[in-house]
Amino acid sequence: MHVIAFAGARIEVGPEAFLNGCQLSAKREVVLGRRAWIGPGSRVFDSDQHDLDAARPERSEPVRIGDHVWIAADATVLRGVSIGAHAVVGTRSLVTSDVPAHALAFGVPARVRGVVGDRSRTR
């Protein structure tokens, strides 16, 4: 697991979160809820990571991942995204927009493709 918090940034990891070989990078804020699971090779970025060019500077927006969320292997979550409680993000997905609570989202870009029940009793 690689956790990078730049000066002035904040990373909050909720109780019982499981970070399995993932990367979290915060230039502003990344918040993970209770029992948020982030799979191997997955990445969470709250910024563009650099300026695109002189006319388009780097942008940063907080990322919020809710309680009992599972982000599977090799997924990428980009700046400004909120993932609601009990949602599941599929392997190798690119999350560019919000995922509502109890949603199954996957693809490039990730889109809601199903419903997920209560994950609070999962192991």
Active site residue 102: no
Q: Which two tokens stand for residue 53?
A: 């060019």
How do beta strands 43-45 and 103-106 pair?
unpaired
From the list 50, 68, 86, 102, the catalytic residue is 50
Cα distances from 57 to residues 23, 49, 53, 54, 60, in angstroms, run 23, 10, 6, 6, 10
CA 54 distance to own-chain centroid: 28
- Structure tokens given for 94: 């690119």
Residue positions annotated with a catalytic role: 50
